[in-house]
Amino acid sequence: MLGPRPTVAGPAEADHAPLTAPGATRAMEAVLERVLEARLRQARETDAVFARDMADRLAAYVRRGGKRLRTAFVWCGWRAAGGSGGSGDPGAVLRTGAALELLQACALIHDDVMDGSPLRRGAPAMHVDFAHGHRTGRTGGSAESFGTSAAVLAGDLALAWADDLLTETALASPHGPRLFEEWRAMRTEMVAGQYRDLRAQASGSSGAEEAQTIAVLKSARYTVARPLALGASLAGADARTLGALRAAGRCAGLAFQLRDDLLGAFGDPALTGKPADEDLRSRKLTPLLAVAVRLAETSGDRDAAAVLAPDADARPGHTVERMRAALERTGARAEVEARIADLAASGLRHFGATGAAPLVRREFAALVERASGAAPRQAEELV
């Protein structure tokens, strides 16, 4: 451990072993809590109603957590680049992880508004929660319109908190310019991916290439590749290490997205915290759907092609079950499962090219397995 207070911003003490990725995630939670308390104090000084209605609600949303995978990948990137050997500040890594969690809150809140999702993390989505408060408060106008507008502002506030924290961290770090460049690129990619997602739904696209582009921009880079690079930047990583980490992150991130697609179609809402049939009802363009459409067309399965088509009847009832059956019957589910395993294995190979210590490679393998559900034997073989 770094000592009795691992979240202190100062450098690690030399006679202590570095935190593991799970330990770093727990330490980040303490950093994030201090950041939230500071932001809430500022909000109360700004306006009491804003603080009560929005800032407090946003802080509760962030505290409700999630997988915290991005923080763990930041830590892995830092350690792979030699950060735990004295070439970086662990406090800066933890603050970067906290900034990522705030950015993730922004992304999820806005995503739920755009998708009309009712649930997130096992509770009402932010726009649904605001709309409920509007109704119970007996205020005028449309509760849905108020909820949407307020949720957009809450997402904006989360982005502001994230940017403030990352900027403060960058200004205090000798590697600040590189850290900020990675952050800036990641934000733009995130928005680009979300727009491509919206555009694909509006156009009724089912193309595999477009599905892949969206998955890379919206998830692979944002969830794994950029967090790895953010951590490595704080250790002053060289070009070779950064290249290996970006390649590892792209593969592992795609594996994560494909697993998320499968959970979106077949997962248990009690475990995922969100509806299991949302992507199917909306015919959201995912690599899973694109694979199924291709296989249905090449095999001549007209029933599957019809039920999976972008303009197919999306009425409630047995339509979703027919779509699930088509995903199974065409072999799309099995093909995506196989691709997840291949991508996870490739990610581990690329990560090994960084020359990271065996312990760090095992930690990365465990994270990839957790994110993608890849078979444990792959981690053992490649680490």
Give the tens place of pLDDT for each residue, 103-152.
Answer: 999 999 999 999 888 888 778 999 999 998 888 877 888 999 999 999 99
Q: Tell me the residue type at 148.
A: T
pLDDT computed for residue 273 by the predictor: 67
* Average pLDDT of span 193-215: 89
Half-sphere exposure of residue 375, counting CA atoms within 13 Å on the CB side?
10
| Domains, the chain | 21-382 (1.10.600.10)
Top-confidence residue, 369 or 320:
369
DSSP letter assigned to residue 12: P
pLDDT computed for residue 14 by the predictor: 37
Residues paired with residue 123 on neighbouring β-strands, in sequence order: 120
pLDDT in tens, 2-59: 333 333 333 333 334 578 889 999 999 999 999 999 999 999 999 999 999 999 999 9
User: pTM, whole model, 2 decimals?
Assistant: 0.89
Helices 332-352 & 239-266, crossing angle to 10 degrees? Answer: 160
Dist CA 116 CA 135 (whole Å)? 18
The tokens for 226 are 């950029």
Residue in 93, 368, 352 with CA at minimum distance from that of residue 229: 93
Instruction: Enumerate residues 6+ apart whose C-beta is below 8 A from 256.
Output: 69, 219, 220, 223, 224, 371, 372
Lowest mean pLDDT segment, chosen from 142-146, 214-218, 371-375, 376-380: 376-380
